Structure formats: structure tokens, C-alpha cells
Structure 1
């Protein structure tokens, strides 16, 4: 309950600051939409040269991409950790965080969140709706519930991977370029995993499981039974990776020596 109250206060202060510069907020919405539009255009261009991609139609790939946007938008809202090293390690703000009774990771999430990124959820639903309109899909009554569960599982996968990578900064003061590399790998999860070779499929499933963020859950919603087992694993994979990430974070905090050292 206390954490929710603190979260509400952080959110209130953030929105006050963002609404003071409304034009910046509008520009962010527009740039996000443009970026997502380019990805859709890329899919259309690819299917301009082929009718199927690894056995998947254009409408199915568009649906998968739309689903991918849901966990990505929520992750981008609450796990905006890209500047952690500069802000909290090099500039020493982590020392301030550690003097407070609330868990350090929760504080950093609340200080770095960008609620406007949630617009991506509506964009994703719109893209999914367009893809579904081109397909003959039947959803059972429980499929919307599974959609929410799968989405939250994907958010935990994303959060777990990038929290674990961020925790590396707690052991060293030097900058690391691992996050941008892994971010580029994450983009492979927005397309059918069977179009890649077996090594890439293994990496996207068991090492950096970004296939659970987009492809596997979306394939279930598309009623492609070949991947049903993997789709059901999505929440479990998310919980496991997130739990490991929190353990690594807590260990890194204990290892952290402070900005003055």
C-alpha cells in the first residue's frame, strides 16, 4: 500500500513536469508513431516480393508485430534504464537512492518511468486489429485473459533481461555497450522465429528469450498450434528471468562501493 502511494506521488510529479512542456510530449507521440509506421512499411515491402515468409502471411506477420508492441510499450514505460550508468553511477545519484527505505530498484523505476510510452499499447491493439481483420480468427472467451497474461509475461522477460544488464554497472564505473547490442537482438522477436536458422532460434528461445515477447504468444492467438507449448511457457519464463534479474541487482547493490570510491 505504501509503495502504491509513493508510485502515485511520483506519477503526479512526473505528469506535472511533462505537461509543462506539452509540445515535447506531442512530438514524442508523433515520433513514436512514425517509427512504428516505418516498421509496418518494412513488412509491406517484404511481402511485396513474396506471398509468405516462412509459412506466414502478411496479415499474420502484421498481427505478430502489433502484439509485440504491447509488452514493448509497457516495458518502455516502467523500465527506462538506458541512462542508468550516467545518471546513477557516474553522477552519483544512486547514493541518494540508497539512503531511502524503499527498495532501490523500485525507486529507480519510478524516477525513470515515461507514462506517455503507454500510447504504444493502443497502437499495438490497432495494428493487431488490422491484422486480425484480414484473417479468419476465432477467439475463445479466455483468449483475452491469456492475452493479458502473455503480455505481462513478455514485460517480465524484457524487464528481467535489461535489469540484469543494468546491474553490471553496479560492479564497474565504466560504461558498457551491451544494452544497445541486446536491444538490437530484441527486434528479432517481432518476427516469426522459424524464419531464422536454428542457432538464432535457440538464442531467442532459451538465452535471450525475446521470442516469448512477441512471436510465441502471438502465434497462439493466431491459432498456430505448433507453438502452443512455448506460448504457455511465457509467464513462467518471464517470472524466472525477472527473479534472476532482481537477485543480480540485490547482489550488485551489496557490491556497490559508492560514488566517492
Structure 2
């Protein structure tokens, strides 16, 4: 209840701050939607030259992309830690965080949240509905709960990977960061992994499991039975990687040297 109360207060102040600059907020939301639209156009351009990609149709790829947007939107809204190294380690704001009687990662998360990124989830759901109609997909009442579990699992996968990367800053306070590169690698999770070679497929499944954000959970709703095992592993992989990230973060905090050293 204490953490829920803290989140509610931060969230309230966040809304007040963002609504003070409504034009900036609207421009940011529009930019996100435009970026997602460009990615969708790219898929359409690719399928303008071929009907299938390793056995996947255009509508199936679009469905995967739509699903991918939902967990990614949740991640982007509540785990916006792209600049953790620069802001909290190099500039020393971690000193302020550690003086408060609340978990350090929770503070960083609620300070850096960007709730407007959740609009990407609505875009993703709209894309999924469009592709689902084209594919004549049939859904059952329990699919809503499966969808929620897989979305949360996918978001935890993303959060786990990037929290782990942020934790490296506790050992190395260099200004350089591999997060932009990792963000680009994450985009590979939008597409079926069987279009890549075996090495990349293994990496995207077990090392940097971005495939569990898009293609694997989508395979369940697309009726790809050969992928069902991977699909239902999505929440498990999400919990495992997120737990590992928290463990790494907690160790990293003990290694933090402070801004004065």
C-alpha cells in the first residue's frame, strides 16, 4: 500500500506537470504515432514485392507488429531509463535517490515515467483488430486473460533487459551507452525469428529474448501450433529476466561510489 500510495502521488503530479504544456504533449503523442505509422508503411512496402515472408503473410506480420506495440508501450511508459547512466551516475543524482527510504529502482521508474507512451498500446490493438479481421481470426473469452499475461510478460522482458543494462552503470560510469544499440536489436522482435539464421534466432530467444515481445506470443493468436510452447513461455521468461534484473540492480547499488569520488 505504501508503494501504491507513492505511485499515485507521483502520477498525480506527473499529470499536472504534463497538462501545463498541452501542445508539447500533443506533439509528442503525434510524433510517436507517426513513428509507428512509418514502421507499418515499411512492412507494407516489403510486402509490395512478395506475398509471403518465410511462410508468413502480410496480415500476419502486421498482427505481430501490432502485438509488439502493446508491451513496448507499457515498457516505454514506466521504464523510461534510457539516460540512467548519464543522469543518475555521471551527474550524481543517484546520491539523492539513495537518501530516501524507498527502493531506488522504484524511485527512478516513477521519476522517469512517460504515461503518454501508452497511446502506442491503443495503436497496437487497433492494428491487431484490423489484421485479425483480414485473417478471419476467432477469439475465445479466455483469450483476453492470455493476452494480458503475454503482454505483461513481454513488457517484463523489455524491462528486465534494459534494467540490467542500466545496472552496468554502477560498475562503469563512462558516458557511453549500449542502450541505443540494444533498442535497435529489440526491433528484430517485431518479425518472425525463422527469417533469421540460427545464431540470431537463438540470441533473440534465450540471450536477448525480444522474440517473446512480439512473434512468440502472437503465434498463439495466429494459430501457429508449432510455436505454442514458446508462446506460453512468455510470462515465465518475462518474470525470470525481470527478477534477474532486480537482483543485478540490488548488487549494483552496493557498488555505487557516489558523485564525489
TM-score calculated relative to the size of structure 2:
0.99
For the aligned residues, what is the CA RMSD? 0.7
CA contact (8 A) 2:67 2:124 kept: yes
State the 1:116 CA deviation. Answer: 0.6
Q: Aligned partners of 2:177 and 2:14: how far apart in 1?
A: 28
- Please state whether the residue corresponding to 2:51 is helix, strand or coil: coil
Give the total of aligned pairs. 261
| Cα offsets for 1:24-44 (capped at 9, x unmatched) | 100011101110111110111
Determine the structure 1 residue equivalent to 2:89. 89
* Contact 1:77-1:117 at 8 Å conserved across structures: yes
Question: 1:43 matched to which residue of 2?
Answer: 43
Q: How does 1:231-246 map to 2 (within 5 A)?
A: 231-246=231-246
1:50 and 1:157 map into 2 onto residues whose CA distance is: 32
Name 2:6's counterpart in structure 1: 6
C-alpha distance after superposition, 1:188-225 (max 9, x if no partner) = 00011111111111010010000000000001111110
Q: What is the CA deviation profile of residues 144-191 of structure 1, one whole-angstrom value per residue up to 9, with x for unaligned ones?
A: 110000000001100000000000111122123311111111000001
2:192 paired residue number: 192
1:249 aligns with 2:254: no
For 1:114 and 1:237, locate their aligned partners in 2 and report how far apart those are by CA, in whole Å: 25
**Pair 1:213 & 2:213 matched:** yes
Residue 77 of structure 1 corresponds to 77
Q: Contact 1:157/1:210 (CA < 8 Å) preserved in 2?
A: yes
TM-score by length of 1: 0.99
Taking the aligned partners of 2:181 and 2:128, their CA distance within structure 1 comes to 28
1:128 matched residue in structure 2? 128
Distance in 1 (CA, whole Å) between partners of 2:3 and 2:190 is 33
SS, match of residue 175 in structure 1: coil
Q: SS where residue 134 of structure 1 aligns?
A: helix
Post-superposition Cα deviations, 1:103-128, rounded to whole Å, max 9, x if no partner, equal: 00000000000011110110000010
The answer for unaligned runs of 5 or more in structure 2 is none
Deviation at 1:93, TM superposition (A): 0.9
Question: 1:169·1:175 contact (CA, 8 Å) conserved in 2?
Answer: no
Consecutive unaligned residues of structure 1, counting only runs of 5 or more, are none
